Structure 1
Amino acid sequence: MKNYLLACVLFLCLAACNNTGTTSTHSTQERSEASAEDSLRYPQEKHLRNLRQLTFGGNNAEAYFSFDGQKIVFQSDYAAWGVRCDQIFYFDLKAGNMKKQVPRRISNNLGRTTCSYFLPGDSLIVFASTFEADSSCPPPPPRLKGKYVWTVYDSYDIYVADLQGNIVKKLTDTPGYDAEATVSPRGDKIVFTSMRSGDLELWVMDIDGSNPKQITHELGYDGGAFFSPDGSKIVFRASRPKTEEEIREYKELLSRGLVQPTQMEIFVCDADGSNLRQLTHLGKANWAPFFHPSGKKIIFSSNHAYDKGFRFNLYMINLDGSGLEQITYDGVFDAFPMFSPDGKRLIFSSNRNNQGTRDTNLFIADWVE
């Protein structure tokens, strides 16, 4: 996913999974309108209550709940936790927040990691890492004039580790990028993004890594996929270059291990890849989708409403493409939303309350329909 992460800006990790941001531009007057008991929430954020901050430094993204909804796993580059670039951390929500309670690092602090997720039973975590290719942090993406790009590291493979950080299994071992793995609520399948067919496509494999099957086939980056609550559908973000110039640019960047995530839309398909359709037609960058607990709506991050591309908010839309609704109102960056398995809470990353820094922190709130 990246990551950071998250697009992203941030934009993302988005990886594809990663990212960062800047300071919030909302006025102190707007903030003061929120109640003292819920001061981190903007008044317009009617679906959120009891919003609280979980992390307090660095870039923290792609926080996902355990199957029992009591724990989270996420990626962070927070130097105070002894890491040099994105690593995977585990945290029990009963401990409160991470201002004083340091989360447990799951990854081995070698290479770079992204896109972690609990396996059924909540005692194992799946994530991607570059550590076998190089123990050092890989270089950041190059600065290309007029282009925002993510690096698609070909050294990413997908691993399983226990909560003590011991790697117990390697799930992928093919040349090229394998990352962005998430798990079906049914506990039987994993969806992930891979370059093994020559393009960034979605693949589904059994929970033990066996029987990989490609489920998307169109040119463009397909990633950030999640299963519906009943495991029957998959939602994901994708770019779809159409013109000769767009196709040429996409292929040229991909040959250098880069993607430009500034034009993405949300797509939905059945878990086997059938009945594929484009859900959004908003333009700009729409990404980080996740199913509403009902299975009938999608929450996602988008900058479509703003002239400047760095501002992202959360939106929700019906599966038929109707009913677009804005959920968050931070002045810079909100992304990586995930509902708890019982549908009562929402966790996401935001630049709010970062005291003028570029920190992206984790926030959790009660969800109000």
Structure 2
Amino acid sequence: MKPNITLLFILALFIGCKSSHKSASYDAKSGATKIVNTIHYPQEKHLKNIKQLTFGGDNAEAYWSFDGEKLVFQASNIWDLNCDQIFTMNITDDLSKGAKPQMISTGLGRTTCSYFFPDNQTIVYSSTHLADVNCPPVPKKEDYGNKYIWPVYEGFDIFTADINGNQLKQLTFEKGYDAEPTVSPKGDKIVFTSTRTGDLELFTMNLDGTDVKQVTNELGYDGGAFFSPDGTKLIFRSSRPKTEEDIKEYKDLLAQGLVQPTNMELYICNVDGSNLKKITNLGSANWAPFFHPSGKKVIFSSNHKTKHSFNLFMINVDGTGLEQITFDTVFDAFPMFSPDGKKIVFSSNRNNNGTHDTNLFIADWVE
């Protein structure tokens, strides 16, 4: 699930950012805020040949096709979109002059979390278009004590479409939230998040929607799951409330179709849910995890270090060896390695000329 990027910007300001612009620094001599349009920060030694892929709006959750030639992603605040829709592009496409990529979703409702099937022609994604053709309302943080919250719309279901936008099949039919699908590198399973049992738990199913199995069963938001390169494990983010106060707050928000994602850690388990291990204990929001091609490390986004900005970090699957990967001033997230492990794609507020735009970037990965 992709959070509202504009709200993430507000969150960054609320929890400590001193600047009113993204990717900006304060010029003490003049007293003015100057824009820093940076694509590659010098500390980012694992990234090389960074290239910007999108130009304007909110673009996020870009995921590779199995052949490494295409990306599927979601976008809003551009092309007259009222809320997120799913698009696909070749990694060689030039969108710098405003070209609109191929829309995959229906253009109705709100979408999130898309992913390629192994055939490179089929895409699975989540959408509310059957529940309501209009964009669902965005909750106002003022109504919740100015706390940052995500909506988990009960109208979300999971669908497939081809790369030309032809709608193929509905995969989930349960009442409540069914979303956040990703596909195993083995090409046999989908993992997704659902409220069908009354809590936000992980489930797996076959590519045709059959053989649904529950993976997690502990109170808390389990989501954003991805398979390991060999398809045997899952990495995901979770809020696991423990105190009576936190449990009550979590349940009260969930009853309203909301979650508060400001305190999430990363967990790894086998595909059947066994051998569950918490691998971060950093505080703040640790999310958008993805396995390194070796299967021995995980890259993720976190604001634990600076509070006011989200950057990419890498950690061993046993929780050791934490390393900072990106050094943006506001927001880097949704990292994904290409199938051959040679490239990485991520979403960032860098190089946006002080706007609220979030764009996609691709880079060569350097070990």
- TM over 0.5: same fold? yes
AA aligned to 1:351 is: N
Matches within 5 A, 1:349-368: 349-368=347-366
- Equivalent runs, 1:288-303 vs 2, <5 Å: 288-303=288-303
Structure 1 range deviating more: 278-287 or 100-109: 100-109
Rounded to whole Å, the distance in 2 between the matches of 1:279 and 1:27 is: 36
Partner of 2:75: 76
Are 1:50 and 2:49 counterparts? Answer: yes
Aligned to 1:33: none
Counterpart residue type for residue 211 of structure 1: D
In structure 1, what is the equivalent of residue 273 of structure 2?
273
**What is the CA distance between 1:120 and its match in structure 2?**
1.1
Q: TM-score, normalised by structure 1?
A: 0.91
Q: Match of 1:217?
A: 217
The TM-score normalised by the length of structure 2 is 0.91
Q: Distance in 2 between matches of 1:89 and 1:183?
A: 17
Tell me which amino acid in the other structure corresponds to 2:290: F
Aligned equivalents of 1:76 and 1:326: distance in 2? 27
Cα displacement (A) at 1:98: 4.6
1:35 match: none
Instruction: For 1:323 and 1:301, locate their aligned partners in 2 and report how far apart those are by CA, in whole Å.
Output: 15
Q: Are the equivalent residues in 2 in contact too, given 1:95–1:101 (CA < 8 A)?
A: no
- Secondary structure in 1 matching 2:319: coil
Unaligned runs of at least 5 residues, structure 1? 13-20, 29-37
8 Å Cα contact 1:50-1:365 kept in structure 2: yes
User: Is residue 8–residue 261 contact of structure 1 (8 Å, CA) maintained in 2?
Assistant: no
Deviation of 1:84 (Å)? 1.1
Over the aligned positions, Cα root-mean-square deviation in angstroms equals: 1.9
- Residue 166 of structure 1 deviates from its aligned partner by 1.4
SS class of match (1:114): strand
In structure 2, distance between residues paired with 1:132 and 1:68: 31
The one-character-per-residue Cα deviations of 1:274-312 (angstroms, maximum 9, x if unpaired) are: 111101000010000000010100000000012x4x410
Contact 1:108/1:165, CA 8 A, preserved across alignment: yes
Deviation of the 1:101 alpha carbon: 3.3
CA contact (8 A) 1:3 1:62 kept: no
Deviation at 1:22, TM superposition (A): 5.5
Sequence identity (%): 62
Residues 1:246 and 1:114: Cα distance change in structure 2 (over 3 Å): same
SS in 2 for 1:252: helix
Cα deviation per residue 1:105-143 (whole Å; 9 max; x = unaligned)?
111110000000001111010000000011000001222
Q: CA–CA distance in 2 between the matches of 1:149 and 1:320?
A: 30
Aligned residue pair count? 349
Shift of 1:350: 0.5
Contact (CA 8 Å) 1:286, 1:304: kept in 2 or not? yes
Q: Secondary structure at the match of 2:360?
A: strand
Identify the residue that residue 260 of structure 2 maps to in structure 1.
260
Give the direction of change, closer, same or farther, for the CA distance of 1:235–1:339 in structure 2 (3 Å limit): same
Following superposition, the deviation at residue 82 of structure 1 comes to 3.0
Residue identity matched to 2:105: S
SS in 1 for 2:250: helix
Which consecutive residues of structure 2, in runs of 5 or more, have no partner in the other structure?
13-19, 28-36
Matched to 2:200, the amino acid is L
Cα distance per residue 1:64-106 (max 9 Å; x no partner) = 0000010000000032x23111000000112244544321111
* Counterpart residue number, 1:206: 206
Q: Partner of 1:341 in structure 2?
A: 339
- Kindly tell me: are residues 6 and 118 of structure 1, through their superposed partners in 2, closer, same or farther at Cα, counting changes over 3 Å? farther
1:302-351 deviation line (CA, Å, top 9, x unaligned): 00012x4x410000000111110000000000000000000010100001
Q: Which residue of 2 aligns with 1:135?
A: 133
Look up the match of 1:329. 327
Aligned to 2:186: 186
